[in-house]
Amino acid sequence: MELVIGSTTRPYAGLSYAEAFARIGKAGYTDVAIFANQVGGEKVIPVSTESTAADISSVKKAAADAGVAPSMLLGRAHLDKGLGGAVTAYKKLLDNAAALGTKWILELGTSKEEFYEIYPKVMRQAAEHAKSVGVGISLKPHGGISLTARELVDLCALVDHPSFSISYDPGNIIYYTKGEVRPESEVGEVASLTSTAIIKDCVLHDDGRPDVNVTAGDGLVDFYTVLSGLVGGGFNGPLYVECVGSSAPDDVDRDLAFTLGYVKGVLTSL
């Protein structure tokens, strides 16, 4: 089984996005998911609702120079702006993502219960605009309104739009439930609704504290079971590595290269 395997810039959060892109390309990845990196001395997502055409052009050039496709962008819904304001802001984010050449917005949901009612309404209107600009919205489990498969499936039903789907993240299932829910037992529930997926592991320390800063295969996630469950349910989308065990850039290079080989090996065995 062959799937697109990309990497997020999260492991290189202390570097510029240009250097992160270059290192990800050298590690053998074809695609990149843009998270927050160092821009002008601040850690920010380099393309957002507020980005200018010049900002987008700079990021697009850096990706091209590194030989990677900026196919995913971490997004944020400005729910504090109310329904109308949040929709307007998200449409601008989608326009900027399309200008960058992004195929997917990675959406995080919300952990604030006061926004639970408007969130699916914002996503429904945003998804219609996403369709018009050729970008998909992919929601990952991230606690709160998107805690586990059950909440993800319920949200997909509420939004009810083909441009809104799931980005399954098995490490986050363990992290946000502190191991009470396991991804292996629920992946079948989300497979048919999943457009992208995150390669992330998780460990539980002796004090019960969850930790996702671990290289895939070194934690609790059974990636063979998770990936076979996704593929068996019809998933054929891209995968993005989000975390590794190292933090020093040269060590991250090694971990990312290892993870690429590890994931390819799992896919080959399916």
Which pLDDT tens digit goes with each residue over 206-231?
Answer: 999 999 999 999 999 999 999 999 99
Question: What was the pLDDT predicted at 209?
Answer: 97
Q: How far from the centroid of its chain's Cα atoms is residue 99's Cα?
A: 19
Give φ, ψ of 143 to 5 degrees: 75, 180
Is pTM, for the whole model, over 0.75?
yes
pLDDT at 41 over 90: no
Report CA torsion sign: 31, 33, 39, 45.
positive
Domain boundaries, the chain: 5-269
Q: Which helix (H) or strand (E) element contains residue 120?
A: helix 119-133
**Residue 39 confidence class, pLDDT cut points 50, 70, 90:** confident
pLDDT at 78 over 90: yes
pLDDT at 139 over 90: yes
Residue of 112, 240, 238, 219 lying closest to 174 (CA atoms): 219
CATH superfamily of 5-269: Divalent-metal-dependent TIM barrel enzymes (3.20.20.150)
